[in-house]
Structure 1
């Protein structure tokens, strides 16, 4: 309903923040694919040259 304030928890954090934090943490904890690790290694090696 328009005009209503967003849900806020007692600690002042919006109600949706916990879900966003959970999603972020699941992405951060995902392992890197081997192809991405290989690309990072190539980039590091080219910086050393």
Structure 2
């Protein structure tokens, strides 16, 4: 597909006038920001407790 300048658009490239493309772009930026956040200690503690409980259960 050719863009207004006559250049080919990259496959999957969407116009920023497209509401779906705008939503996708913002969601991608949000998820990338979340990936850089540290995991809260309370979640790590919870995962460790769940692992311990699962191990104890499988030993029975």
TM-score range relative to shorter protein: 0.5 to 0.7
Greater relative contact order (Cα < 8 A, sep 6+):
1
- Greater radius of gyration (CA): 2
Q: What do you get for the CA RMSD once the two structures are aligned?
A: 1.8
- After the TM superposition, which parts of structure 1 deviate over 6 Å for at least 4 consecutive aligned residues? none
- Structure 2 gaps, min length 5: 1-8, 16-20
- Could you tell me which residue of structure 2 aligns to residue 41 of structure 1? 48
Question: What is the TM-score of this pair, normalised by structure 2?
Answer: 0.53
Give a deviation string over 1:1-38, Cα, whole Å, max 9, x none.
Answer: xxxxxxxxx51361332222011111122111111111
SS of 1:48's partner is helix
Count of equivalent residues = 40
1:15 aligned to 13, 16, 22, which one? 22
Question: What is the TM-score of this pair, normalised by structure 1?
Answer: 0.62
